[in-house]
Amino acid sequence: MAETYASVIDKAEIILQDEDSDQTTRRWTETEMLGWVKDGEIEIAKLKADSYPVVEAVALSAGSQQSLPTRAVQLLDVLCNMGLDGTTRGDVVEVVEKSLMNAINPGWMADTANAVVTHVIYDTKRSPKIYWVYPKSTGTNYLEIMTASLPDNTGVVISDDLLLEDEYANALMHYCLAMCFAKDTDIEASMARTRGHMDIFLESLGRKEATEEIYNPNKTRNTN
């Protein structure tokens, strides 16, 4: 059964001991807690690039320089050409470093435009939302790309399934609890609980990343 915003909030309410059905008498209303769970999804997507991957065909602009879609924060992979209609899969595309492309072909940005891309040039650290294509695009072709994106949860309601996978439900609960206790900034015990739940939130993401690295099927292992 999929985790919902309601199930995350229910668990947080048990810890808060604030399960009164009358929202007018509650210290923390379900409306504000829903907002914090939604904020938590955004924060997880910012901190863990693979938590909300989006695969889509994107129309290229004429020229070499391209921009990621609006909600994308990082390019994870480039899969293949998608023809002139965005639905026809074609040749795969190789992602290369800009320094390597410059060394191999210093004039690559000025080469003749083509409707088939062979290479994508990307610099994660210095320009995470910009990439370049080679040959430069005619402005009529598409690529299929995978991006780390921010979930658009603006329209969700409390009964909806989480936009992130169920494995992030406990982290979201701790984020919600941290924000609940942060509401009482004048109480030292509440601030301590805010820090505690935020630490658990961040640590759980770090532990998950470490586990994924250990069991990464693409990682070379010592079989001796």
Same domain, 45 and 57: no
Same domain, 18 and 57: no
Neighbours of 106 (CB within 10 A): 9
Neighbours of 171 (CB within 10 A): 26
User: How many domains does the chain fold into?
Assistant: 2
Same domain, 65 and 143: yes
Q: Is residue 198 part of a domain?
A: yes
* C-alpha–C-alpha distance, residues 202 and 205, integer Å: 5
Given the structure tokens 């994870």, which residue do they identify?
A: 76
* C-alpha–C-alpha distance, residues 221 and 199, integer Å: 32
Range of the domain at 179: 5-49+152-214
**pLDDT classification of 223: cutoffs 50, 70, 90:** very low
Predicted TM-score (pTM) of the model is 0.82
Model confidence pLDDT, tens digit, residues 54-113: 999 999 999 999 999 999 999 999 999 999 999 999 999 999 988 899 999 999 999 999
Same domain, 145 and 156: no
Mean pLDDT is lowest, of 25-34, 35-44, 99-108, for: 25-34
Same domain, 140 and 71: yes
